[in-house]
Each structure stands twice: as C-alpha cells, then as structure tokens.
Chain A
Amino acid sequence: MSDDIDQITRMLDEGAPVAPDEAPAGVLEPFEVFRQEKDGDPMRHGGNVLAPDAELAVHYAREMFGRRGESVRLWVVRRADIRVMEDLDLLQPPLDRSFKKPGGYVMRDKLAAARDRAGTTKPGARAASHDRTGRRGDER
C-alpha cells in the first residue's frame, strides 16, 4: 500500500501525466485538505488524509478538520491532481526587482528638497497615505 503512495508521490514529483480519475480498488491515496476558518477567509492548507476515494476523503477531512467547529468550509483535493512549481530560478530570479517593491522608492530626501524649494512644510499625519506598503495590513 505504501508502495502505491510512493509511486503516486514519485509520479507527482516527476511531473507524470495526470493520474487516472480513480485509483485501483483497495489503494489508499493522499488527499490534501484546505480549510476556511471563517466566512470570507481564504482557503488555507490544513493537512491531508489517506482515503480510497474522494467521497471517503471528504468524510475523513470532516473528521480531521471539522470536529471542533474550526472550519466553515473544506476543499478536498487529490494530491496527484496538484501541480507543483518550485523552481527558484523562475520564482525568485536573481535580478534587481526593487522597482516593484516599496523599498525601491525612498523619497525622504527628495521630499525635503522639494519642500525647501517650495517653502512648504511637511503635511500633518491627518490621514495615512497609501504608499507605506511595509505595513503588514496591506500585504496579502
């Protein structure tokens, strides 16, 4: 049985073609479970279950991730159906991308120079601007 799982995992790792809809009878396979903690939240990965088919996987997922009212919705996905991309050459290319990030725009000195020239003063903190992207609340 664990050989089958190994095989499926290997197929996934090696980017094998999509697995057949149903595994052969008697074979357990992993299903990844995503849970929504409260209404409107994004789905987050919770863990996984082993099941012989999608229907039982849903039951198991409910048992594992819904016993204490900690979820309002579950997504159950056959692991073999998940495609992984983790090539850091593509995801984290070693190029200067600072123009895409808040740190690429440090304006303090420029603003001070512009104020000097215009004879103005710094605006009060009446309302926060939108361009301080370091604030955690603005991140995904």
Chain B
Amino acid sequence: MTDPLALDPVLPPRERSERSARRWNEDLPHDERFEHFEAHVLGGGKIEPNDWMPDEYRTAVLRFVEMHANSELMGVLPEREWIMRAPTLRRKLALTSKVQDEVGHAQLLYRVAEDLGKPREAMFDDLLAGKTKFHNVFHYPTRTWADIGVIAWLVDAAAIVAQQALRDSSYGPYARTMQKICWEESVHIMHGRDVVVTLANGTSAQREMLQEALNRWWGPLMQMHGPRSDRSKDRDLHWRIKAKTSEELRQEFLTIYVPRILELGLTLPDPDLRLDESAGEWRYADPDWDELRTVVTNHGPRSQERLEFRRVNREATAWVRAAILAEPRAAA
C-alpha cells in the first residue's frame, strides 16, 4: 500500500531494515535473518503476529499457548460439576463467574494461537484425539466441596506463579493477554482461599473434608510444573517464551503458600517437606513423575470422561457455529 521509501527517505533500505526491530530485512539470507531475530528476542525484544519469525519459534509459541488454552478449557469441567451443589447462592455466583472467566481465558488464548496459523477446529480435533495435552490437575475428580476451595486457591495459585512470569513473554500478544488473565485469576484465588478458610473455621467434619482434599491434591500440585529441567536445553526459555524453569516455579509456589496452608492448622502429606534455610530452597519428596506422565497422556482418573464431555458438547453445539458461518439470508 504505502511506499516504504516515501515513509522513510533517510536511510537506504538495507540499513533501515537492520535498525528496524521487526522487518529483519526481507533481502537477507535466512541464517542472517535468524541471527537478527535471535539477537532481538534474547535482548528482551518482543515479537508481534505480523513480524517475521523462524518456524521453530512460531511452532514453540503455538505449542505452548495451545496447551495453555486447552488447560483453561478443560479446567472448567472439574469445577463445573459443583455449580449446582455450591452451598450458598453467593458461592454459586462466584463459581459460575470463575467458570465463565476460565472459558474466556481459553477464548483469548485460542485467538493468540489462531493468529500463529492453526485454526481453532484443528486445535479441538487434536485435543479430542489426544494429540495435544492439558494440565495434569484437570484430569482428577472433584469429590467434595473442599476440592473446589483447594482447586481455586492452590491450583490457581500454582498456575498464577507461572502465568505472572509469562507477562514477560517475548511473544507480545501472549504477554499482554496474560495481564488480563492474571488480574482475573487473582480474584479466583481469593474466592478459593475464602472457601478454604471458611471450612477451616467450620465443624470438625468440614475440617476433615478440607484436610482430606488437600492430601489428595498435594501430589498433583507438586507435579504440576513438571520435573526439573536443564535450563540450557529448554528452548522455550531460550526464546524467552517463558521466563522460569519448572523448579523455580515450584519453589516460588511453596515459598508463598506453604506458610499460608500451615497457618490454618492444616498439614501437608509430605514428611520430607521443609525449608532448607541455608540453601534458601524447599526440600520435598520426589513427586510421582510416573503419575504425571500417565495422567497427561489422558490416562488419568477422569481424562476420558472429560474429553467425552467436550466431544458431546462440540457435537451438540455444531449448529451454532454453522448458523454463525452461514450466508445471511435475504430479508423476507
């Protein structure tokens, strides 16, 4: 549309594109362009959807965001089961609102992923076919109301530790989307903590229910960020798609939340869990990584049921998508 020379008559094209953060000079050979791109990203620069990016980067961001979107979408199902059983109207409103928020997060994230070149229908196909994954914690049943408190407080807390770090992602649209998501998640955490504290102040049966839920969720929570990984081999870290290693996230989660859990007189089902003051690090029993692998490959206790819910739901709502895409009919 616009002649670039007319817009910037000062520098010759080659020099101009070298100082441009995003053009990476279309005339350069791939390797050189790649170097410019990498220098930009490693220097803390951001990438926007229309910028040139190497396929490796595009694929890596897409995979990461798609997994996140899938997790938001699937993550509402365990909580959804308790909307009708919430103990008060206010809790029902809060839980409904949280479920709506999380579906909204999925919408935002699927948009980010779509702009990277994968159609939403293809993402749903892959999710239902088990080709892409969603977070381990959403493969488990929600047995009691206490589970709802533990999920909203601690699962969301473990998630927000990761999500806050993603506000610095090198992929601009993802980083900005995380601003909104973190803002909403922080209210979910308050809702969850309020449920938990209320139960902690309740009858002995309610306290037992709370402790039992915490015991069941602690394993999945400790697995959630994944096994320790080698920083130098992690491409998502290298590209600055994410900012922290799984172990850094887990340590941060423990530092913030273990004292707040113990404050309520609750116990944690890991006798090895303690803060090593000299190292400034939490020690804990090795999480069950076999369980993590089993669960995220859709062999968890509720994996198939939840995917089946999505399948049925997708079929049942197909007419809506068809209606939206249909040619408008002439007014009668």
CB distance from A123 to the nearest CB of B (A): 3
Contact A58–B183 (Cβ < 8 Å): no
Chain A residue at minimal CB-CB distance from B257: A129
Contact B179–A140 (Cβ < 8 Å): yes
Docked complex Cα distance between A73 and B90 (Å): 45
Contact B200–A114 (Cβ < 8 Å): yes
Contact A124–B259 (Cβ < 8 Å): yes
Most central of A40, A104, A121 by chain B CB within 10 Å? A40
The stretch from A8-16, A22-30, A85-93, A94-102 touching chain B is A94-102
Most central of A111, A126, A130 by chain B CB within 10 Å? A130
Q: Chain B residues near A123 (CB, 8 Å)?
A: 259-260, 262-263
The stretch from B1-9, B71-79, B220-228 touching chain A is B1-9
Contact A113–B190 (Cβ < 8 Å): no
Interface size class of B (residues with CB under 8 A): 35 or more
Contact A110–B197 (Cβ < 8 Å): yes
Q: Determine the main DSSP class of A at the interface with B.
A: loop
CB distance from A12 to the nearest CB of B (A): 21
Interface size class of A (residues with CB under 8 A): 35 or more
Docked complex Cα distance between A62 and B6 (Å): 11
Instruction: Using A59-B7, A124-B259, A130-B189 as known contacts, say yes or no to A139 and B1 having CB atoms under 8 A apart.
Output: no
Contact B191–A138 (Cβ < 8 Å): no
Instruction: Using A105-B190, A114-B200, A130-B186 as known contacts, say yes or no to A120 and B45 having CB atoms under 8 A apart.
Output: no
Docked complex Cα distance between A119 and B182 (Å): 33
Binding site for B on A (CB under 8 A): 39-40, 42, 54-55, 58-59, 62, 72-73, 99-102, 104-105, 107, 110-111, 113-115, 117-124, 126-133, 138-140
Having A104-B94, A111-B197, A133-B186, one finds 7 other A-B pairs with CB under 8 Å, namely A40-B45, A59-B7, A114-B197, A123-B259, A129-B189, A130-B160, A140-B180
What are 14 A-B pairs with beta-carbon distances under 8 A? A39-B172, A40-B172, A42-B176, A100-B97, A105-B191, A114-B201, A120-B262, A121-B263, A127-B255, A129-B189, A133-B183, A133-B190, A138-B183, A138-B186
